[in-house]
Amino acid sequence: MEISFILNNKKVTIDVTPSMRLLDVIREELHLTGTKEGCGEGECGACTVLVNGEPYNSCLTPVANVIDKEVMTVEGFRETKAYRVIADAFANQGGSQCGFCTPGMILASYAVLKKNPHPTEEEIREALSGNLCRCTGYNSIVNAVMLASKKGIEL
C-alpha cells in the first residue's frame, strides 16, 4: 500500500505493508539508522521518534498509524538549534558513553523541554523513564537536560 507521511520536514511516500513497524520503515526502507532497536518490545526507548512532536516507540508503531503525520528522527532533529543546545549539554555533562541510547534520550529530552521549559529533576527523570541506559547511570543525562533547560532551547 502507498503510505505517505512527513519525515524530517519532507513528504515521503513509500509502498509498504501497513503493519510494518515504523522502526523498520525508517531503518530498512529509508536507510536512516540513527534510530536504534534495543528490545523490539517497547521497554527500552532506543527506538524513540517524535510523531507530531510526541515521543513514540517506533518498534511498536505500525506505519499505518503515522499516515499524514509529522515524524522526526534524530537525523532531522540534528539540523535544529535546539539540538545544538541539548547535544552540547550532553557533551558537557558526559551524558553519552557508547551512544546507543543517545538518539532516543535526546529526542525524549527535547520533548520534555518543549512541553516544560523549566522542569524539576523529578520531572526530567519521569519524562525519560521510558529510555534505558546501561552506561551512564542516568545522573549525567539528567544533569545534561537540566543544563540545557537553563541555557534554553529557543523554540
Q: Which residues bind another protein (CB under 8 A)?
A: 1, 17-21, 24, 27-28, 37, 40-43, 45, 48, 51, 54-57, 59-62, 64-65, 67, 108, 111, 126-127, 129-130, 132
Min separation Cβ 104 and another protein, Å: 9
The rounded distance, in Å, linking the Cα atoms of 150 and 44 is 27
> In the block, which residue shows the cell 534520550?
105
Min separation Cβ 99 and another protein, Å: 19
Tell me the one-letter amino acid at 15.
Answer: D
Q: Which three cell numbers stand for residue 37?
A: 532497536
Cβ distance to another protein smaller for residue 8 or 58: 58
Tell me the one-letter amino acid at 88.
Answer: D
Min separation Cβ 65 and another protein, Å: 5
N-to-C CA span, the chain: 36
Cβ distance to another protein smaller for residue 57 or 93: 57
Tell me the one-letter amino acid at 9.
Answer: N
* R_g (Cα) of the chain, nearest Å: 15
Min separation Cβ 47 and another protein, Å: 9
